[in-house]
Amino acid sequence: MKTALITGITGQDGSYLAEYLLSLGYRVVGMHRRSSTLNFERIAHIQDDLVLEPGDLLDEASLIAVLRRYEPDEVYNLAAQSFVQTSFGQPVLTGETTALGVTRLLDAVRTVRPDARFYQASTSEMFGKVAETPQRETTPFHPRSPYGVAKVYGHWITVNYRESYGMHASSGILFNHESPRRGLEFVTRKVTFHVARIAHGLAHELRLGNLDAQRDWGFAGDYVRAMWLMLQQPAADDYVVATGETHSVRELCERAFAVVGLDWERYVRVDERFMRPAEVDLLVGDATRARRRLGWSPSVTFDELVSMMVEADMDLVARQVK
Ligand code: NAP
Ligand code: G4F
């Protein structure tokens, strides 16, 4: 039986990846950081099948201890301070976790378990002010936030450990991916949750920032398959994972309100508080390499994704008001 270590197990992707690896017969070890209140909501349904171990990307000793104890065959580094807006207010913490945290983990793997295969959660935010459209593995990086800058560091240190030490270390350059388990602060979930609250008469407006921003939004359940496929290849490499379609925040609103028969323009208000000091205007990925080499393709369309999220939030809000 293979063992996989997932950092960021309590996050959106951690929960989907854990489900997927369990379905493939892996022993799944999930690293979680200490908090005063347990936050296992996303993994509650599989908690008994997981090994949960405390650890923190800020603390290398804890990483070494987890690796020594469980000797994983595959390590998926999903942990990060992952919210772009927060990275402007907490740039140093973001750098410590999202940038240097990758080096701490890579170096711990190199020391304790050098043959383990490593996955780094890179991001389309690295393309930032895009140099070409669509973006692919060879597109130059121009990050537009402390988060994006930290992820560029994480990306290149992964490439560096691959080239310096021959580690099987791959980097998935994933475009935005969403689900009913997405954090409420990200725009898709913020919209679908507010649509559900408005439809239930619990709210009357939705305040958003830049409605013109365009993103390539896919379903998280599809994207974790690509992570696993990367680690099954004979050689490590970098892969863009994306749908190849882009939609604006405005279109997202239009579609989400339409699912419950409402006109978005009656409820959405633009609020300067949600604008960013520097914006990423347009992201759309070219996943040709992932399609050809990994045989990966997305299974959920934008409309299906939005409907799935609105319907899940309608159920959630209905349960909350009962
Ligand atoms: P998420 O829901 O925000 O989850 C982040 C995870 O990291 C949580 O489990 C969090 O733990 C953990 N974490 C934060 N700081 C940590 C620390 N110092 N030590 C250990 N764990 C820590 O993010 P996600 O959407 O699942 O994304 C997973 C990864 O992919 C992230 O690295 C993200 O930057 C990257 N990514 C995401 C997307 C996307 O569209 N979702 C696209 C490209 C790349 P707590 O629960 O305790 O906060
Ligand atoms: O949903 P978002 O916060 O996601 P963002 O910034 O694209 O980052 C997400 O995707 C990245 C992959 O490209 C990940 F690496 C990262 O970890 C994260 O998962 O914002 C999407 C867009 C932005 O242009 C933002 O300015 O929506 C715009 N937006 C407009 N109003 C808003 C809002 N975003 C948020 N969060 N809240 C708003 O009210």
Binding site membership of 165 for ligand 2 (Cβ less than 6 Å): no
| Rounded Cα distance, 173 and 125, in Å | 9
Closest ligand 2 atom to the C-alpha of 84? 6
Give the residues across from 117 on adjacent strands.
74
Query: Which domains does the chain possess?
Result: 3-177+217-241 (3.40.50.720), 184-216+246-282+301-321 (3.90.25.10)
Mutate to test the pocket of ligand 1, among 82, 224, 300 (most ligand atoms within 8 A of CB): 82
- Closest Cα to atom 17 of ligand 2: 82
CA atoms within 13 A on the CB side of 99: 17
Cα dist. 162→110, 166, 171, 225 in Å? 10, 5, 10, 22
Nearest-atom index, ligand 2, CA of 121: 15
56-72: average pLDDT? 98
Nearest CA, atom 8, ligand 2: 84
pLDDT in tens, 23-61: 999 999 999 999 999 999 999 999 999 999 999 999 999
- Active-site residue 125, yes or no? yes
Distance 277 CA to ligand 2 centre (A): 13
pLDDT tens per residue, range 98-113 = 999 999 999 999 999 9
Residue 265 falls in the annotated catalytic set:
no
Q: Give the confidence band of 322 by pLDDT, cuts at 50, 70, 90.
A: confident
**Residue of 26, 147, 161, 239 marked active site:** 147
116-138 per-position pLDDT tens digit: 999 999 999 999 999 999 999 99
